[in-house]
Amino acid sequence: GAVVSQHPSWVICKSGTSVKIECRSLDFQATTMFWYRQFPKQSLMLMATSNEGSKATYEQGVEKDKFLINHASLTLSTLTVTSAHPEDSSFYICSARDLVARSSYEQYFGPGTRLTVT
């Protein structure tokens, strides 16, 4: 089946530094990838949608200059949290969908990245 990986699975960084999270589709080409954020005991909140080769579409309230998304290839999207602050500590999850080769409804989630900013 389709597998999505994320790296790192967890990261601790100091306030003011930047952190890059990678999301890879391992056995399919992901034309569209989604980035979600989840705070403890809350549901997933969509942050942005990225299509390969184009700029990401950010949800209202998500700062595009703070959360940089790059979907440079059909198997890789990255989310960079710039100038991280403790309130950015969260569980970041990506998901990917291939609208070409697979059923249109299937969307595959990565295992998530736990970010802690100290």
Contacts with another protein, residue ranges (CB under 8 A): 32, 34, 36, 41-46, 49, 51, 57, 91, 93, 97, 104-107, 109-112, 114
b (16+ CB within 10 A) / e for 79-91: bebeebeeebbbb
- CB nearer another protein, residue 49 or residue 82: 49
d(CA 3, CA 107): 10
Q: How far is the CB of 83 from another protein (least distance, A)?
A: 26
Q: What are phi and psi of 113, to 5 degrees?
A: -130, 125
- CB nearer another protein, residue 36 or residue 117: 36
- CB nearer another protein, residue 19 or residue 30: 30
Q: What's the full length of the chain, in residues? A: 118
Q: How far is the CB of 74 from another protein (least distance, A)?
A: 15
Q: Which residues contact 39 (CB under 8 A, 6 or more apart)?
A: 45, 90, 91
Q: How far is the CB of 110 from another protein (least distance, A)?
A: 6
